[in-house]
Structure 1
Amino acid sequence: MDEKTIRREPARVRLGHSDLVVRPIGLGLMGMSQYYGTADPEASVATIQSAIDLGVDLLDTSDYYGASNAAPGRPVQGFGHNEGLLGRALKGRREKVVVATKFSARPTPEGRSVFDGRPEYVKAACEASLRRLDTDRIDLYYYHRLDPTVPVEETVGAMAELVAEGKVRALGLSEVDPGILRRAAATHPITALQSEYSLWERGVEDEILPECRRLGITFVPYSPLGRGVLAGRFRRGATFDIEDIRSTLPRFQGENFENNMRLVDALGEFGEARQCTPGQVALAWLLAQPYDIVPIPGAKRMAYIQENFRATSVPLSADDLAYLARLFDPAHVKGSRFGTVNAPRR
């Protein structure tokens, strides 16, 4: 390997200023409960256990995963479903992993969701998550989406009390701007910020990533494979079932999708020339960025988890990184990242 080649070995990395240490690629579990079609619960539990045995040690869930569906009127798994899956999978394996979950998106009887950052709800949500996960502590507890009616200092203050009580080890935020991030960090140390980031979604690069670096916060990209498109899962003209959230997202529609697939085709050619998959290239590109980054690609099948795990051994030169950044320049990607589905999408 020449001096210009950047490679990140699968050594463990520390999350922020905490004592939590994980491998460079985690696993997002949301798709096992909602948004990407149906999944068999027993198969999901077995897959999570196999992932842990493989060495995946950052597992990401939320109390909300299972409470929503991309298709209005379709049956849903139920609030807390995903945490329940993880709780079952952790039996006999709890000490091998860092468990990350989230709160704030609360479903209403009308089928909507509201974001609740009140201190009393923070504590009630944590207790419920602990029961579903069948554990005595949450390693990384995220404020999933901001409640605009409650100052972030009050919400994070309540989360800090959970740390003091030993129920939570470290705190995280999701999808917040730099100002909110600074206010939260001034209230209690923030270990991780989770937002969307990938070759085809670069909105965090200008302000969020530099602010994370300044504050010593690890950035955890969700949808690092662009909801599967960067993994080469689809072909031009693909359509998505009404139960699949991609059926509502502008980047997966019509001319936008056709344009974006041309970029993905070029990514596939790049990977093929290097004997790796496009998804492995996309993850390796993230790992090679000059920030503390731990992506959490989602997967339902063990074969995909193994493929993603091997991305840590994909070498990319400085020229490779520059080429990929130019290929997926934000001006080249057509369509906004969200449609009209009632949040949160992750």
Structure 2
Amino acid sequence: MEMRSLGKTHIPITPIILGTWQAGKRLWVGIQDTEMIHAIKTAVEAGITTIDTAEEYGEGYSERIIAQAVADQRDRLVYATKVFANHLKYNQVIEACERSLKNLKTDYIDLYQIHWPSGSFKTEIVPIEETMNALNYLKEQGKIRAIGVSNFSCSQLEEAMQYGRIDSIQPAYSLFWRNVEVDLMPYCIEHQISILAYSSLAQGLLTGKFKSDHQFDPKDNRYANRLFQGETFKKAEQAVNQLRPIAERYQCTLAQLALAWLIAQPQTHAIAGVRNAQQALDNAKAAEIKLLSEDIELIDRIGQPVSNPFKNDTVMWTW
């Protein structure tokens, strides 16, 4: 798989990144540890050597599952994890990083990210300067190699950049959710900041597996996802049906087509979660698809009726 550089660093990352929110189990149903470990191993074997996780995913459980799966291959992997919004004071950042290092069974984290801005989910407001000072210290100590942010607005990213180098931002971004294109993407292009898109398949909506009458378990986070509700769900189903002939022409699945479109966008890498080994293999193959420019534009137009109403919304869920 081709390698790209993370921001302005020399850290090589894959265009398809393995997402492991599911491995933490919290807010997901039907996740099996053995199946997840096998899926992680399979993704790495298939060339997806960049893995994204967070302390919040099952209170470190996802990080520990990753260690169980591939700790013996650490030297060929890039680990990206995150500190949550309730741990953004200086000492809390240091302590959270140490916990993640222990969970991942490693002595360094390639990319350490602020998961949500200070104040999110009614957390205490902490000045970004204080948080960045802690992250810069960890970088100086060699505990982390690069700093990233997640779920930040463009103005919040600009403020963080005043106190240190940010090499990535992790927003929700897919064919059906495109708020990032309004102002974040132009800023990232100008400053060579990598966009690590999460929910790159719109939480499975772009796979074509869900019909608009599907009912999610209330314990499943997709139960509160705006894209799976009412008229939006119906529009998404119609768009997916329009994408099917394009996928057939490229002899790929709908999911692979959506991932190929996403990684063709400027500065963008796609974080794709998995439940099993086959999904890991399928996601890896998406990196091999080279879409024609006219098809990129066609896919873009097909997705707009779903994404346009949410251009000014930053959070996909009604939490």
Alignment of 1:156-305 (within 5 A): 156-289=132-265, 291-305=266-280
The yes-or-no answer on 1:50 pairing with 2:28 is no
Encode CA deviations 1:246-292: one digit per residue, 9 max, x unaligned.
11223212333122211111112321233211111111111222x22
Residues 39 and 278 of structure 2 are in contact (CA less than 8 Å); yes or no, is this contact kept in structure 1?
no
Residues 23 and 61 of structure 2 are in contact (CA less than 8 Å); yes or no, is this contact kept in structure 1?
no
Encode CA deviations 1:91-133: one digit per residue, 9 max, x unaligned.
311111100100124xxxxxxxxx3321111011011111111
What TM-score, normalized to structure 2? 0.92
Secondary structure of 1:142's match?
A: strand
Residues 175 and 307 of structure 2 are in contact (CA less than 8 Å); yes or no, is this contact kept in structure 1?
no
Which of 309, 316, 319 matches 1:338?
Answer: 316
Secondary structure of 2:146's match?
A: strand
The yes-or-no answer on 1:103 pairing with 2:79 is no
Q: Which amino acid aligns with 1:312?
A: A
Residues 178 and 208 of structure 1 are in contact (CA less than 8 Å); yes or no, is this contact kept in structure 2?
yes
C-alpha distance in structure 1 between counterparts of 2:149 and 2:30, whole Å: 28
C-alpha distance in structure 2 between counterparts of 1:339 and 1:60, whole Å: 20
Secondary structure of 1:266's match?
A: helix
Encode CA deviations 1:176-233: one digit per residue, 9 max, x unaligned.
1222212222321111110011100110102001111111111100011110110222
Residues 235 and 305 of structure 2 are in contact (CA less than 8 Å); yes or no, is this contact kept in structure 1?
no
Residues 284 and 314 of structure 1 are in contact (CA less than 8 Å); yes or no, is this contact kept in structure 2?
yes
Residues 32 and 38 of structure 1 are in contact (CA less than 8 Å); yes or no, is this contact kept in structure 2?
no
Q: Which amino acid aligns with 1:53?
A: E
C-alpha distance 331-311 of structure 1, shift in aligned 2 (>3 A):
closer
C-alpha distance in structure 1 between counterparts of 2:135 and 2:97, whole Å: 9
Encode CA deviations 1:37-65: one digit per residue, 9 max, x unaligned.
13111221222122212211110000000
Matched residues, percent identical? 33
The yes-or-no answer on 1:315 pairing with 2:290 is yes
Aligned length: 310
Q: 2:130 is matched with which residue?
A: 154
Which of 85, 89, 107 matches 1:136?
Answer: 107
Q: Which amino acid aligns with 2:293?
A: A
Encode CA deviations 1:304-324: one digit per residue, 9 max, x unaligned.
111111112223222111111
Residues 142 and 171 of structure 1 are in contact (CA less than 8 Å); yes or no, is this contact kept in structure 2?
yes
Encode CA deviations 1:143-172: one digit per residue, 9 max, x unaligned.
011114222121111101001111111110
C-alpha distance 229-331 of structure 1, shift in aligned 2 (>3 A):
closer
Which is richer in helix? 2
Residues 52 and 96 of structure 1 are in contact (CA less than 8 Å); yes or no, is this contact kept in structure 2?
no
Which of 21, 26, 41 matches 2:33?
Answer: 41
What TM-score, normalized to structure 1? 0.85
C-alpha distance in structure 2 between counterparts of 1:31 and 1:124, whole Å: 24
Deviates more, 1:45-54 or 1:129-138: 45-54
C-alpha distance in structure 2 between counterparts of 1:256 and 1:47, whole Å: 31
Q: Structure 1 regions of 5+ residues with no counterpart?
A: 1-9, 67-78, 106-114, 342-346
Secondary structure of 1:83's match?
A: helix
Secondary structure of 2:268's match?
A: coil
Deviates more, 1:264-273 or 1:14-23: 264-273
Deviation, structure 1 residue 333:
6.0
Which of 71, 74, 82 matches 1:91?
Answer: 71
Q: 2:122 is matched with which residue?
A: none
Deviates more, 1:309-318 or 1:57-66: 309-318
Residues 100 and 138 of structure 1 are in contact (CA less than 8 Å); yes or no, is this contact kept in structure 2?
yes
C-alpha distance in structure 2 between counterparts of 1:29 and 1:12, whole Å: 20
Deviation, structure 1 residue 330:
5.0
